[in-house]
Amino acid sequence: MTLFLPIRGLSFLAVPGVYLLLGWLNYSQSGKSAALGVLALLATGAWSAGRPPPRGGGATVWEILVAAPFFVLLALQAFLRDFFGVAHDDEMVLEALFNTNGGEAGEFLLHNGRGIAKHVAFLVVFLLIYGLLLRMGNRYLPSKGPAIAGGDRRELAGNGARRRPLFLPLLFLVLFLLLHLNPTMRQSNPLLYFPLQYLEWNRNVEETRKLQQTLAATGSDPEIASIRYVGEGPRTVVLVLGESTTRLNWSLYGYPRKTNPELSALGKELVRFDDVVTGNPATTGALRLLLTPADLSRPDLWQTKPDLLTMAKKAGYRTFWISNQGGRTGLVSVLASHADVAEFTNRGGSRGEGSYDNVLLDPFRKALSDPAPHKFIILHMLGGHPAFHFRYPREFARFDGVNDNVSRELTERGRVFWAVLQRDEYDNAMLYADHLLRATIDLCRERVGESIAWLFTPDHGEDVAHYTDFVGHNYRVRAMWEIPLLFWKSGKFLAQEVLPEEAARRPVQTDTLDQTVLGLLAIRGAFYTPQRDLFSRDFQPVKRFLDGAPYP
Ligand SMILES: [Zn+2]
């Protein structure tokens, strides 16, 4: 019976469990909160069990006090995922929390009133039910009533059961504290969440400021004087950057689910590169290599040499960065700031259901019709970034629960239901990305008689239960590295040195893809190496490495 008080702390698990079932938390979020909350409550319960009576009543108050901050943090996380599709440590959330003035905060509350009210209501209901359960549980405690004859609390000191009242609470407390060695666990402690997030946000802002200063110097690199434009007439080059997109889930590359109906319909107009891997399996790492002269053999060049936008500007291009990702801190934001026009369609607190990648299309259309004769436009999508089900509108949820070869194979290989569920959602996101990429090509096709090249590749792939039940960024597997690369050009875009169909068979790693982009931009000079340009007759394949290991 002495174990009853600590053990009832386990009932806390029901709360993150309910959020998980409702789809408002993912496994990692609810798992971390569950682990911390349960240990805190086990410690509280065990401590109360060792106290003099009335233990039940006292314990209930303490347990509610300990549980309440966890309930609040869970409610906040659920709200953020439910309405904005972001995790609580997402840059957009930090920005909304720490970089807004009173007016914006008020606007945010007003604008999202219904969502906030819904989650506050859930919070209150959960707290009430939890408190009620604890009270009911008190009935089973032997602490009240005549069980202890005489009722003198001092007698209890000599009671055998009271001899190790501190052992269990201390054990749970130590386990609770040990979990804090993990940094993401620390962030899941409601009392540490805000201070830690605030510190991190400030650090990000400071680091970005320093990066901004460092990279400003790359604009005056002496070799920049060698940059020249060798093309004839006007031209537009479009570089579309996807996100977390593995080619293993694209029907264009043989995936059995028809995830690329609209791109496939382009037939020979679209060139599919067969053998492409990313240089780095993380967003910043990959884009740092792709958008600057840095490559795997000289990974630090991004700090000293100009990036593609700076070079294109130098060559006379008007440059655009249109992004559906966060853009206030980090290296990618600094690179983006080098564009003549930087537009972020996804703004912290104001981003909601409308944050699907189609918000890129209007600014893209505007950029295409800009009167500048030479344009370099970069689009940065959210693509297949987790959480997948926030990446597409409902009408693209075409693979949910379908019974096809893919789902049968996953089941045969023993995948748990939630891994299959996430695969379905990821494929929906791929289907939507297919639709969106086709829409960007169609906008280019509308510019009849113009010279336009369009190139697409994602930063990296994604592991979506391809090998185990694991879903997410997984550096050790092929799905994380093997990515699509697509090319389209208008009839008027000047022919490349080799036929696109021939180029498409060349093996490439995207750390050197900046060279192909420079080729399309017709930029020559110190930073252009034709041996790395996929469309150059001088192209030579280089050894490729996945996290240091040779590939293939
Ligand atoms: Zn990424």
Name the amino acid, one letter, at 161: A
pLDDT at 118 over 70: yes
Lowest-confidence pick of 90-104, 234-248, 300-314, 485-499 = 90-104
Crossing angle, helix 91-98 and helix 55-84, to 10 degrees? 110
Size (the chain), residues: 552
Lowest-confidence pick of 7-11, 400-404, 414-418, 498-502 = 7-11
Output the pLDDT for position 155.
43
- Beta-strand relationship, 318-323 and 485-489: unpaired
Q: Which residues contact 482 (CB under 8 A, 6 or more apart)?
A: 246, 247, 248, 276, 277, 461
- Output the CA 42–ligand 1 centroid distance in Å: 38
For residue 99 the two structure tokens come to 């970089």
Give the bridge partners for 523, in sequence order: 229
Output the pLDDT for position 219.
78
Output the pLDDT for position 282.
87
Q: Which residues contact 381 (CB under 8 A, 6 or more apart)?
A: 240, 241, 242, 243, 324, 325, 357, 360, 433, 436
Give the mean pLDDT of 284-297. 92
- Beta-strand relationship, 341-344 and 276-277: unpaired
Give the whole-number percent of the chain exceeding pLDDT 70. 87
- Output the CA 479–ligand 1 centroid distance in Å: 13
Output the pLDDT for position 125.
92
pLDDT at 378 over 90: yes
Output the pLDDT for position 428.
96
- Output the CA 511–ligand 1 centroid distance in Å: 14
- Output the CA 44–ligand 1 centroid distance in Å: 41
Lowest-confidence pick of 255-264, 298-307, 427-436 = 298-307
Sign of dihedral through CA atoms 534, 540, 541, 545?
negative
Give the bridge partners for 374, in sequence order: 235
Most confident range (mean pLDDT) of 98-107, 250-259, 349-358 is 250-259
For residue 139 the two structure tokens come to 């009935």
- Taking only the tens place, the pLDDT of each residue in 461-514 is 999 999 988 888 888 899 999 999 999 999 889 767 888 888 999 999 999 999
pLDDT at 159 over 60: no
Output the pLDDT for position 92.
60
For residue 103 the two structure tokens come to 């007016």
Q: 350 or 245, which is more confident?
A: 245
- Output the CA 475–ligand 1 centroid distance in Å: 12
Q: 464 or 196, which is more confident?
A: 464
Output the pLDDT for position 352.
34
Give the bridge partners for 237, in sequence order: 376, 453
pLDDT at 154 over 50: no
Return the ∠ at Cα 138 (arms to 137 and 141), rounded to 5°.
110
- Output the CA 70–ligand 1 centroid distance in Å: 30
pLDDT at 258 over 80: yes
Crossing angle, helix 113-138 and helix 102-111, to 10 degrees? 80
CB-based contact 496:293 (threshold 8 Å): no
What is the average pLDDT value for the chain, to the nearest integer? 85
- Output the CA 382–ligand 1 centroid distance in Å: 9
- Output the CA 1–ligand 1 centroid distance in Å: 51
Name the amino acid, one letter, at 118: K
- Taking only the tens place, the pLDDT of each residue in 48-57 is 877 776 666 7
Give the mean pLDDT of 240-248. 96
Output the pLDDT for position 156.
43
- Output the CA 206–ligand 1 centroid distance in Å: 22
Output the pLDDT for position 76.
86
Q: What is the pTM of this model?
A: 0.72
| Dihedral-angle region of residue 383 (phi above 0 means left; psi in -120 to 50 means alpha; beta otherwise) | left
- Output the CA 460–ligand 1 centroid distance in Å: 6
